[in-house]
Amino acid sequence: MALKLLNPGLRPLGMFDLDDSHAGAVNGGEYVQLKTEAAVGAEGYAADVGQLEDVASIVNFELASRTAGRLGGLADEGGEEYGTLFGSLIGSNAGKATLVSGAVVLGPTTDRASGKVTVWAQAGLYGVNGQNDAELTAAAANTAIHASGAGVLQTTAGGTDQVAIYVGAMSDSSLVSTTNTAAGEAATTEYHAVFFTGNAQA
């Protein structure tokens, strides 16, 4: 799963501390929401986010469903495409990686490397995949998208406020190789395009 920037807001909200209980759980494209952590001593954080602290608590983000009036956005895992510091290596040590064994991503994801998360909080068009593909595949254009308690985008409301609007499934996006369709095969869905409505929505 990964967050893909299609036509996003101009800049991300920035690198913020992620709740330690969610370390390793960010796969990209989940909804995260700002919260305060009361027990400062129990929550570790990088030194350069310590300014986001008041007398008794630290401000950080957690995977969550959306609550209107609270600051939130889509999480970038920093593991694929945008956000990957060292790129992706095609071929393993001996150069024998295949589609079966996969490619090796160089460097850890941001939540594991620094305990931070990049939050895209501005309205815009984003791509998500691997979250709840079966439910999103069945969605029609203009379907309201909500977030589960774990931040996963879904069509099921579950009493939560709307996060995005479903646009459509993206397939055969490659411009430098023969697509499945051009080769006479069925196009496969690579990711789903959603319009994140941003924080201005009530």
**Domain ranges within the chain, ordered by starting residue:** 3-196
Mean pLDDT of 96-108: 53
Which pairs count as long-range contacts for 143-149, CB under 8 Å and 24+ apart, including other chains? Answer: 145/194, 146/65, 146/66, 147/30, 147/31, 147/64, 147/65, 147/66, 148/65, 149/63, 149/64, 149/65
| HSE, side-chain direction, 13 A CA sphere, residue 160 | 25
Render pLDDT for 140-162 as a digit per residue (tens, 0 to 9).
999 999 999 899 999 988 778 89
Q: Specify whether the backbone of 138 is left (phi greater than 0), alpha (psi in -120 to 50) or beta.
A: alpha
Percent of the chain surpassing pLDDT 70:
69
Give the integer Cα–Cα distance in Å for 21 and 23. Answer: 6
pLDDT band with cut points at 50, 70 and 90 for residue 48 = low
- Is residue 125 over pLDDT 60? yes
Lowest mean pLDDT among 35-44, 134-143, 158-167: 35-44
- Residue 35's pLDDT band (boundaries 50, 70, 90)? confident
Higher pLDDT, 7 or 41: 7
Query: Is residue 96 pLDDT above 90, yes or no?
Result: no
Angle in degrees, CA 131, 137, 138, rounded to 5: 125
pLDDT of 5-17, one tens digit each?
A: 888 877 888 778 8
The average pLDDT across 99-122 equals 68
Task: Spell out the residues 6+ positions from residue 128 whose beta carbon is closer than 8 angstroms to its own.
Answer: 1, 2, 3, 4, 28, 29, 74, 136, 153, 191, 192, 194
**Does residue 82 carry a pLDDT above 80?**
no
User: What mean pLDDT is predicted for residues 58-78?
Assistant: 87
pLDDT at 124 over 60: yes
Reported as a pLDDT band with limits 50, 70 and 90, residue 31 is very high
Please state, in angstroms and rounded to a whole number, the distance separating the CA atoms of residues 77 and 111: 7
The arithmetic mean of pLDDT across residues 113-134, rounded, is 83
Higher pLDDT, 50 or 191: 191
